[in-house]
Homo-oligomer: A and B are copies of this chain.
Amino acid sequence: MTADRVNPEPPERAAVAALADDFLTSLRDWITIPSISTDPAHHGDVARSAHWLADALRADGWPEVAVWDHGPALPAVYACWPAEDPAAPTVLVYGHHDVQPVDPPEAWEHPPFAGVVVGEELFGRGSSDDKGQVAMQLLGVRAHLAATGAPAPAVTLKFFVEGEEESGSPHLADLLDRHTADLACDLVVFTDTPLYARDAPTVNTGQRGVLGAEVTFTGGTSDVHSGRVGGGVPNPATALARLVAALHDDDGRVRLPGFYADVVEPTAAERADHAALPFDEADWLAANAGGAQAVAGEKGWSTLERVWVRPTAEVNGISGGYTGPGLKTVVPREASVKLSFRLVPDQEPAAIAESLREFVAAHTPHGVTAAVVLRGEGTPPYAIDVDHPAAVAVRDAVEGAFEQPVRYSRTGGSGPAAVLHATLGVPVVYLGATLPDDRIHAPNERVVLPLLLRGAEAAARLWRSLPERLS
């Protein structure tokens, strides 16, 4: 809130406005590609999406563009645009071009892969998570160049847009290892997180990690008649329910052994920032929670803390036995539960996985066989020091573009920030302009277009300011 008071129309803003129509046309086209990475039937679409993005970068004038399509990872896109000044810092922008499944498809008001615009909103799977934000970053670079009039950006820019984020980025570490030189940088700008709210823009400082697992309890080799043997043999579905029930104590704390041992609580300053954000329980539920009727969770923590800085165990899906129409009185032969654990610094997915295996073994009754299948290695949690100059630079750029005060927030969702941090050895900051109520991972995903334009302006401002901030 400094220079803009005397210059209400900074060149970045004008440049974004001039490119806005082109931006929207392009993003709508990208959304038509159903790049669902969790569904093998759509892996061809993930490849199409990568090539679409590479073509878009080339059209924007990026001098080096590549699709990394050498398996086992689904195709990722890499681009580099060197700064004129060889001493300028190098920034790697991270995003992803794969999207979540759409089921149930009948719950969508607009087709998920049509890019329908209604007023300020663009609907479609990936409109917010994360094609919209990656497109915003492309626009930010174009606006930066237009605003400065220079032939190259003020920092060396690299884009790395992966195709497996929604599958838990199982090959990210491999990709980073293969391409160490390409991806070398001084800072990662992670572009897959939302603002806190439209009227309370924030800069994100961390994400929870996640570990996914499926636990299957097997009794026999076939379903059996619940009249004939019911009461006389173990019921795997009942056993599984008892396992799931044991995951939490009555205070909502997760009962895996050692689950909280490595948890680092946020500083008093960061907690104060979180506590100062506007929060109305009913509004939060309506905007975020898919019609949930009440908050709930770990005793002793606020709702924002529960979803930002506290670890969790959630059932994502459960199934077993007869689930068709009518009644079928069987003792199921097996039952399965898909679980995900959200993790916070400094919990480690591998340690939590080991703890889960122990916990399952301890809760498997005699006569039942347990199988624990991990969904990849998990994604570690990450948080940046809120006083880091890059974090402050992002906050200032967002404040300038949004013309509002900005606080720090966190994100309950997960992303590979910690892997990028650990592998590349550099800090990670977050720049995002979507909203928590964009219905990502759910039917009717949308993005608010004017926010993406503000976000592109913030990015353009950031590229201009970073050489001085990081010097």
Contact = CB atoms under 8 A, between A and B. Distances in A.
Given A328-B101, A340-B329, A441-B329, A292 B322 contact: no
B443 A222 contact: yes
Given A307-B231, A327-B338, A329-B340, A238 B293 contact: no
B290 A333 contact: yes
A232 interface: yes
Contacts of A333: 290-291
B326 A229 contact: no
Given A100-B328, A329-B441, 15 more contacts: A221-B291, A224-B442, A227-B414, A229-B307, A230-B307, A231-B306, A231-B342, A231-B412, A234-B293, A238-B245, A238-B248, A314-B331, A316-B331, A317-B323, A322-B338
A327 to B, nearest CB: 4
A387 interface: no
A332 B317 contact: yes
A21 B107 CA distance: 57
A205 to B, nearest CB: 16
Given A338-B327, A366-B294, A369-B293, A227 B241 contact: no
Contacts of A291: 219-222, 333
Which range contains the number of A residues in contact with the other chain?
35 or more
Given A225-B441, A328-B101, A289 B232 contact: yes
Contacts of A119: none
15 contacts: A220-B293, A222-B442, A222-B443, A226-B342, A228-B412, A231-B311, A231-B314, A234-B296, A237-B337, A242-B244, A292-B331, A295-B367, A316-B332, A319-B319, A327-B340
Contacts of A326: 38-39, 101, 167, 375
A106 B337 CA distance: 23
**What are the nearest 3 A-B pairs in CB distance?**
A294-B367, A227-B413, A221-B291
Interface string A206-217: 011010100000
A89 B292 CA distance: 64
A233 interface: yes
Contact of A241 (B40, B241, B285, B443): B241
A324 interface: yes
A38 B247 CA distance: 36
Contacts of A222: 107, 290-291, 439, 442-443
A233 B412 CA distance: 13
B340 A323 contact: no
Most chain B CB inside 10 Å of its own CB: which residue of A244, A247, A298, A320: A244
